[in-house]
Amino acid sequence: MTSHRILIAPSILAADFGHLANDLQRVIAAGADWLHLDIMDGQFVDNISFGPAIVKLARGLTTLPLDVHLMIERADHYVPRFLEPGANSITVHVEPEAKHDVAATLRLIRAGGCRAGLTLNPATPFAAVEPHLPNVDLLLVMTVHPGFGGQSFRPEMMEKVRRGRELRDSLGAHYDLEVDGGINVQTARLSIENGANILVAGTSIFKAADYADAIRDLRGG
């Protein structure tokens, strides 16, 4: 069995955009392992966030891995725009509503020298990602319906995390297992117990009084 280190990826969607650079510097100094950047187009999800310019801003502040989560239609068209400013992983959605050839987009991401991630919404059955697992570097299990921060974690998604871990072992694959949505100290522990090793957290870090304490607590002390 492969051992994967527990990594904390603050979702900058919950940062104060009036002082974004300052908030990013603080969370980096507080011990973030990756930065998670949520890209929303108002089509695939019912919200609009930010684009490549913010990835570029983050790249200018840190050498930490930048984990880009594309909640957009036509990811194949936009992937180069996120490779260019320096994304280290790009995760795309498997649902047909994302309107792209998933296998081709994953190849495009890897060809750009980036880690290829695949994700699925809570309502999407795990079987949808299975054919792609040999070709991913990261499997993201959404623990809320994507679009907004601050929602409640769905514990029933842990079955997908367990399945992702089992299949990784049986395939001899090495992908990371990431969870995103409603991650706090309790749900982080549950996710780790079920096999997740990358924890995305927005609200529980950026709304905390002390980012370093919040990150340490999520990691399990």
For residue 161, give the nearest of 132, 134, 188 by alpha carbon.
188
Please, what is the minimum distance in Å from the beta carbon of residue 149 to Zn ion? 9
Q: Which does 91 bind (CB under 5 to 8 A by kind): ligand DX5, Zn ion, none?
A: none
Please, what is the minimum distance in Å from the beta carbon of residue 123 to ligand DX5? 14
From the list 76, 176, 180, 217, the catalytic residue is 180
180 catalytic, yes or no?
A: yes
State the SS3 of the chain.
CCCCCCEEEEEHHHCCHHHHHHHHHHHHHCCCCCEEEEEEECCCCCCECCCHHHHHHHHHHCCCCEEEEEECCCHHHHHHHHHCCCCCEEEEECCHHHCCCHHHHHHHHHHCCCEEEEEECCCCCHHHCHHHHHHCCEEEEECCCCCCCCCCCCHHHHHHHHHHHHHHHHHCCCCEEEEECCCCHHHHHHHHHHCCCEEEECHHHHCCCCHHHHHHHHHCC
For position 38 contacting Zn ion by CB under 5 A, the verdict is yes
Between 197 and 203, name the residue whose CB sits nearer to ligand DX5: 203
Between 38 and 137, name the residue whose CB sits nearer to Zn ion: 38
38 catalytic, yes or no?
A: yes
Q: Near Zn ion by CB under 5 A, which window of 72-80, 109-117, 165-173, 175-183?
A: 175-183
Please, what is the minimum distance in Å from the beta carbon of residue 12 to ligand DX5? 8
Q: Which does 183 bind (CB under 5 to 8 A by kind): Zn ion, ligand DX5, none?
A: ligand DX5
For position 10 contacting ligand DX5 by CB under 6 A, the verdict is no
Residue at token pair 């051992």:
3
Q: Near ligand DX5 by CB under 6 A, which window of 97-105, 124-132, 196-204, 213-221?
A: 196-204
Contact residues toward ligand DX5 (CB under 6 A) are 11, 13-14, 36, 38, 69, 144, 146-151, 180-183, 200-204
User: Catalytic residue positions?
Assistant: 38, 180
